[in-house]
Amino acid sequence: QLQAFGGGLVQAGGSLRLSCAASGLTFSRYAMGWFRQAPGKEREIVAAVSGRGGSTYYADSVKGRFTISRDNAKNTANLQMNSLKPEDTAVYYCAATFSLGIVVRTTIQDYTFWGQGTQVTVSS
């Protein structure tokens, strides 16, 4: 089970930190991803991290602004979002998939477990 939280309303240029709490998983054996879905658009990958955190992936649109991390001791994955833009407005979802080693997963179809989503709204 995954639970995402930390969304909210922020002005452009501001920051938010999303967290995803996992339960019922051997967390370090699961690659984690953050996705987002804006109104009228398809869900898209934002960032992903391998099971032990050694590999990461970022969508071009968030490179240099967002940082994904994980704390396997606390069974949490985080997404630090800085320099937020209005186009970052979306519902953000965390997801998990069983994946050993350093592989990151970047497509929706790769992921087995999904959190409920948390709304991020960036005002201009």
Predicted confidence at residue 46, as pLDDT, reads 98
Question: Per-residue pLDDT for 115 more than 90?
Answer: yes
Predicted confidence at residue 101, as pLDDT, reads 80
Whether residue 74 contacts residue 8, with contact meaning beta carbons closer than 8 Å, is answered with: no
Cα separation, 69 vs 79, in Å, equals 7
When the pLDDT of each residue in the chain is averaged and rounded to a whole number, the result is 96
Summarize pLDDT for 30-59 with one digit per residue, the tens: 999 999 999 999 999 999 999 988 899 999
